[in-house]
Amino acid sequence: MKSEAFLLHALTPLHAGTGQSADIIDLPIARMRATGIPFVPGSSLKGVLRDACDPDNGGSLDRGTIDGLFGPPTEHAKKHAGVIAVGDARLLCLPVRSFRGTFAYVTCPLLLQLARRDLPGAPPVPTIEGTKALLPHRSKLAHDGRVWFEDVDIDAKEDVAEVDTWAEWLAKYIGTAEMPEAIRSRFAVVDDDTMTFLWETATQIDTRIAIDDETRTVKDGALWVEESLPPETVLVGIIVADRRRDGTAGSPDEVLAAMFKGLPESLCVQVGGKATVGRGVCRVVRFGEGR
């Protein structure tokens, strides 16, 4: 088996939901049960990548190769399993409102530690004592030694070397060649407790309605609240390639090479629900292929 990491960078609000809820939010996003960390299920991502390899969608693989990599269609599912496994994409950075700098890419030691497990060569994780925000060199976020993220007001420590390294490293993958400073100057690492509060309260909440075609008023019962991860959210996941016992799929290295070769050069995909209202447009960034 061989695995390769990828980053999922949301360009529009991303709704990967769990169905209806009895809570205030009718359509919440998916969260890990033990930690509450937002994630995008691997089952959704696998289907998205399969479709992206299809020539009708800009890919370059024939249908036989696609079936060999991802598994045959449902009606022929008993023939063989696929050799590509796509893991859940877990939150790495959450964009939140900031009193200075407009918004911040916020993460925490827990998310960075989990990311390092999937991203070989990632920088060391900074240590935070107490409730605090650590900022890189030339940050735009602090004012008089403090930061204001959403409803959180905490002390800030600037020019932290480990945070500067993470900001530089991430800017290669989620920034643009024209404005890498936009990532570096807005990156922040907060303590785990503060981050837990932010990933529970700083998501995008939208109230939606449906209009009756005849009366041009709201349909009875057609009022609901849905939750999304905001644009600029960054998630991390892994793709695993295996070999089929009959040897027909090739080695794990060949499997991964074939899949990535079949994807469009500029990989922009739609993930999750609410596609017709612009939700879920994301970039898939292959780890190791940053600028």
> Is residue 30, in this structure, part of any structural domain at all?
no
> Is residue 249, in this structure, part of any structural domain at all?
no
> Is residue 57, in this structure, part of any structural domain at all?
no
**Calpha distance 125→139 (Å, rounded):** 18
Residue 265 near residue 50, CB atoms below 8 Å: no
Q: Can you give the pTM of this predicted structure?
A: 0.89
Could you please report the per-residue DSSP string of 184-241? HTTEEEE-HHHHHHHHHHSSEEEEEEEE-TTT-SEEEEEEEEEEEBPTT-EEEEEEEE
Structure tokens at 241: 């390639």
pLDDT at 291: 33
DSSP 29: B
Q: Is 209 left (phi over 0), alpha (psi -120 to 50) or beta?
A: beta
Structure tokens at 131: 């409730």
> Is residue 19, in this structure, part of any structural domain at all?
no
Number of domains in the chain: 1
> Is residue 58, in this structure, part of any structural domain at all?
no
> Is residue 170, in this structure, part of any structural domain at all?
yes
Residue 152 near residue 198, CB atoms below 8 Å: yes
Q: Per residue of the chain (291 residues), what is the pLDDT tens digit?
A: 788 899 999 999 999 987 666 678 888 999 999 999 999 999 899 999 988 888 887 788 888 888 888 888 777 667 777 888 999 999 999 999 999 999 999 999 999 999 999 887 889 999 999 999 999 998 999 999 999 999 999 999 999 999 999 999 998 888 765 566 788 899 999 999 999 999 999 999 999 888 878 888 778 777 889 999 999 999 999 999 887 665 566 788 888 888 887 777 667 889 998 888 899 999 998 875 433
> Is residue 243, in this structure, part of any structural domain at all?
no
- Domain of residue 158, residue span: 94-202
> Is residue 280, in this structure, part of any structural domain at all?
no
